[in-house]
Amino acid sequence: MKNIAFTIVFSLLTFVSTYAQLGDEINEEYPEAKKEVKEALDEIEQSIRNNETDKLISMHAYGPKFTEFEFGGKRQGSKENEDFERNFLGTITEVEKWDWEDLKINVYGGDVANVTFHANFKFKRAEESYDFKMQGTLLFIKTTDGWKITHEHMAPLAETKAQPETPKITHISKSDFPKGNMVNVVKGWGGMVVAINEPPAGTDFAPLLKGQKDDLCQVPHWGYLEKGKLQAEYKDRPTEMISAGEVFYMPPGHTAKVIEDARIIDFSPEEEMMALMTDIEKVVNQEKN
């Protein structure tokens, strides 16, 4: 009986001692290792800035244990990751911003490090511009050749926009609608604007769109043609004729001509539409001058 009691007490003491050691290990800071991991992050950034693809690849511990999650996709391995690093990050031509925001480095046992951060990356590949905001996790292990990444997890951060306020007036008679403006609109309706306009036959909207992408309107419109006839023209789809009594959708990349005196009622995203109206005003003022 004494032997059993001794065994139980010894086991408990061993467990308590092991638990205490584990607690000490979790709380250990390893400042020198943290410094080394931060230097590894700096090397990764510099290799991207300098377009040193092989250097970037060498910062990874590729092999059967390497894993990656990227933007909600399924788990990938070392081959997929290396292909991405070479074909995408390796072709960056200019870095405008490369910030490791809210960076936290935790080291365990002196040879494993978990790095978490919010990333704010702006860069160019050829003439294409990219603006990435994401949360990231990098798992490093210390090898005989320095600290290497053995796992990556990247998740995009959705930008939150304030919800538009509901205006006091949510209905208006056509007879009370604003008139005499270049484009007659009422804004503030749940992030949309409503427009009622009566362009005469022969009106061509194309000259007003100079300077827009492809010199076409990039704002989508949903509407109803109360009277008249419109000819909608697109870059990548056939020309369409919209007749009185029809509802319509004009996707981004369009212009229009008024074939018969028209009354157009349409709805458009407010932010994009107001920006377009500002651009149109500039074009009109330039023509006047």
CATH no. of 174-288: 2.60.120.10
59-68, 128-137, 211-220: least confident range: 128-137
State the CATH class of domain 9-156: alpha beta
pLDDT tier at 3, thresholds 50, 70, 90: low
pLDDT tens track for 14-48: 544 544 455 567 789 899 999 999 999 999 999 99
Looking at the predicted structure, is the pLDDT value of residue 103 above 50?
yes
Looking at the predicted structure, is the pLDDT value of residue 168 above 60?
yes
User: Which residue did the predictor score with more confidence, 255 or 166?
Assistant: 255
- Rounded to an integer, the average pLDDT of 191-201 is 94
pLDDT at residue 172 in the model? 87
Looking at the predicted structure, is the pLDDT value of residue 54 above 90?
yes
Looking at the predicted structure, is the pLDDT value of residue 276 above 80?
yes
CA torsion 35→33→78→104, rounded to 10°?
A: -60
Q: Which residues on adjacent β-strands are paired with residue 106? A: 114
**What element of type H or E holds 289?**
none
Please, are residues 200 and 258 in contact by the beta-carbon 8 Å criterion? yes
User: Which residue did the predictor score with more confidence, 4 or 94?
Assistant: 94
pLDDT at residue 16 in the model? 45
Looking at the predicted structure, is the pLDDT value of residue 229 above 80?
yes
- Rounded to an integer, the average pLDDT of 71-89 is 89
Q: In the chain, what are the domain boundaries?
A: 9-156, 174-288
pLDDT at residue 8 in the model? 55
Q: Which stretches within 52-162 are classed as H helix? A: 53-58, 78-87
Q: Which residues contact 115 (CB under 8 A, 6 or more apart)?
A: 37, 41, 103, 104, 105, 106, 136, 137, 138, 139, 140
- Rounded to an integer, the average pLDDT of 46-66 is 95
